Amino acid sequence: MASAAPLDDAVVRRIARLARIRLGDEEVSRLRGELGAILGWIEQLNEVDVSGVDPLASVGQATLAMRADVVTDGDQTEAVLANAPARAGTFYTVPKVVE
Amino acid sequence: MTDTLDFTIAGARNALRAKTISARELTEAHLAAIEALEPSLNAFITVTPETALAAADAADGALARGEGGPLAGIPLAIKDLFCTNGIRTTAGSRILEPFVPPYESTVTRQLLRDGAVFLGKANLDEFAMGSSTTTSAFGPTINPWQRQGSNTQLVPGGSSGGSAAAVASGMALGSTGTDTGGSIRQPASFCGIVGMKPTYGRCSRFGVVAFASSLDQPGPFARTVEDAAILLGSMAGHDPRDSTSMDWPVPDYAAACRRGVKGLRIGVPREYHADGMPAEIERLWQQGLDWLRDAGAEIVDVSLPHTKYGLATYYIVAPAECSSNLARYDGVRFGLRVPAQDLTDLYEETRAAGFGAEVRRRILIGTYVLSAGYYDAYYLKAQKVRALILKDFTDVFGQVDALLTPTAPSAAFGVGENMDDPVKMYLNDVFTVPASIAGVPGISVPAGLDGDGLPLGLQVIGKHFDEETVFAVGQALESAAGFSAKPQIRVGSLR
């Protein structure tokens, strides 16, 4: 494991930006400590020899089934939009993104 | 009324069919219990008396006609992670506080198909992330058990703490939970009831708010092993809307409880003798092995060499999947929206206001381990260790039919304890996480009390899709343990 460069505030801010979560300055420094401790603890995996081991993404045993290529659901516009925080007609609305 | 609330599901079914009680009476008694106990326990986020009574009346009608499914008139609590059509589903989070699903999860749809009565939506750690039900945006759930001579408030475990507390205190005959790393088994142990995590793929995840999709699995809570088996029989089965659910018949789990353990080989994984584990948990574990030996099982020492790496593997895989799953909460299509001038601000402000501290931490860890430059070092490495952990179980199940371990390294702890250090909280799941990583089934059965009078559970782990053996061993433990202690906070206690 690339022994992690110690987390600094810039890294915490960069991750938060990628995750689209706004953080205040105080939170950045608290999270730097908390995330650093968790990542440090995780580094114990360095002890494990994984040479020749294939990564395992899922333990599911089901094989993907084929089905007829037909429409099975739809025409649910009102149900889909029922929880919209803001809408106009049959559309979701967001702040203006093009000038 | 106390008698009514002491029913098992099996007993209530017989009483309903013999007409010694009506579904309405049974539901009214449980709604009254909720009203009396909720101020002390906070096990529910939403209680639904009207729909419960309507469902009870429908069950009475069906039973009068000699119809009615296997759960007709049985009052249940539903973890607020299962989408319920027309009933608010919050996942314990501010970000889903206003969310009313326009559809029903497959597991709850099957329970309704079989006649169950839903009393309400049970409290949980936010997005099922936690081991204490203290990260809920709707306040912590309190364990109905207390230490002898103390009224310190204890946690019910988590994440399905509301579901466990409701069943332990007599507010529901059974409940649903979900287990990603121990979220059914650990609260069952803390609350002195039975909790079963089935094999990954046994129950559909459709309509269950996703946390870590390769680990999440729904399962039941009940006060007896047989009751848990009855509930799983209704919950399990193939669903075309979850491609990871197996298209295999659902066995008669209740019948499997009566199989006995004669001739079974039960493994004792030596790596579960954790440093610092209380002596009374070690003793109870030994007692459990003696019970199974007396019932005709053979006890075999086995090794799961990668056990100690389970937690670290889990805390890479689960946050990685959570950071991806929770990307959908963007304030645009459903849930909370914090108004803003531009779209990025809208996303960032909504997610900052909507997610609690533990969820934010896990999203950030997940984002980090999946980000360019760290993916191979963390995520890929964890997936390789996951393969080794699965191989540990596959190897061991070539030698034995099931494993017996403690469920958790401690009894219930106080509200506010283990909060200072996230890693300390994560250690609660040390005995439950490996089975989740391997996708094998596990049950926690109450087996005894610690020195403070708090319940302790033992865990039975089985082979993939061999829930039947897990139930048989669980039943043998339950019969030998004769666990009959009751929590301090329950309806009878308020008289």
- DSSP letters, B194-257, are EEEE--TTSB--TTBPPS-TTT-EEEEEESSHHHHHHHHHHHBS--TT-TTS---PPP-HHHHT
Looking at residue A1, what is its pLDDT? 46
Grade residue A26 by pLDDT with cuts at 50, 70 and 90. very high
Cα B64 from chain centroid (whole Å)? 34
Residues A41, B423: C-beta atoms closer than 8 Å: yes
Torsion sign, CA atoms B132, B392, B386, B225: negative
Q: What is the pLDDT of residues B114-124, one digit of tens each?
A: 999 999 999 99
For residue B449 the two structure tokens come to 């009390």
Catalytic residue list of B = 79, 159, 183
CA dist., res. B1 & res. B37, Å (int): 14
Alpha-carbon distance B373 to nearest alpha carbon in chain A (angstroms): 9
**DSSP helix/strand/coil, B90:** coil
B337 in reach of chain A (CB within 8 A): yes
A4, pLDDT greater than 60: no
**Angle subtended at Cα B411 by Cα B211 and Cα B227, rounded to the nearest 5 degrees:** 65
Confirm if B105 and B265 have CB atoms less than 8 A apart.
no
B18's CB contacts (< 8 A; 6+ apart) are: none
Given this model, what pLDDT does residue B1 score? 42
pLDDT at A3: 52
CA angle B88, B90, B95 (to 5 degrees): 120
- What integer pLDDT is reported at residue B494 of this predicted model? 53
Preferred mutation among A17, A44, A48 to probe B, highest tally of B CBs within 10 A: A48
pLDDT of the residue at B419: 81
Q: Are the C-beta atoms of residues B351 and B330 closer than 8 Å to each other?
A: yes
CB contact under 8 A, A85 and B243: no
C-alpha span between B141 and B67 (Å, rounded): 37
Residue type, B105: S
User: Quick check: B256 and B467 in contact, CB under 8 A?
Assistant: yes
Amino acid at B181: G
Cis peptide before B213 (omega within 30 of 0): no
- Sign of the torsion angle spanned by Cα atoms B135, B139, B145, B146: positive
Q: Does B374 touch chain A (CB under 8 A)?
A: yes
Instruction: Say yes or no: B118 contacts chain A, CB-CB below 8 A.
Output: no
Q: Tell me the three state secondary structure of residue B119.
A: strand
Which of B318, B128, B292 is CA-nearest to residue B212? Answer: B318
The packing angle between helices B225-235 and B9-17, to 10°, is 80
Confidence band (pLDDT; 50, 70, 90) for A97?
confident
Exposed e or buried b per residue across B211-232, where buried means at least 16 C-beta atoms within 10 angstroms of its C-beta: bbbbbbbbbbbbbbbbbbbbbb
Contacts of B335 in chain A (CB under 8 A): 83, 85
- The CATH number of domain B2-259+464-494 is 3.40.50.720: no
ipTM above 0.90, yes or no: yes
Residue type present at position B62: A
* Residue B417 pLDDT: 86
Tens of pLDDT, residues B169-214: 999 999 999 999 999 999 999 999 999 999 999 999 999 999 999 9
- The contacts of residue B174 (CB under 8 Å, 6+ apart) are B9, B74, B76, B77, B167, B220, B221, B222, B223, B227, B228, B231
Query: Of A8, A14, A22, which to mutate for an interface test with B (greatest number of B Cβ within 10 Å)?
Result: A22
- What is the DSSP pairing of strand B298-302 with strand B117-122? unpaired
Block residue for tokens 């308020």: B494
Q: Which residues 65-84 on chain B approach chain A with CB closer than 8 angstroms?
A: none
**Strand partners for B462:** B402
CA distance B361 to B422: 9
Domain locations in chain B as residue ranges: 2-259+464-494
CB contact under 8 A, B244 and A76: no
Q: What count of residues does chain B have?
A: 495
Residue A68 touches chain B, beta carbons under 8 Å: no
Q: Please, where are the H alpha helices in B295-342? A: 310-325
Cα angle vertex A21, ends A19, A27, to 5°? 120
Residue among A16, A60, A95 whose CB faces B343 most closely: A95
Question: Would an 8 Å CB–CB cutoff place A32 in contact with chain B?
Answer: no
Q: Which residues of chain B have pLDDT under 70?
A: 1-3, 493-495
| Residue A82 forms contact with B (CB below 8 Å) | yes
Which member of A18, A76, A83 has the closest CB to residue B99? A83
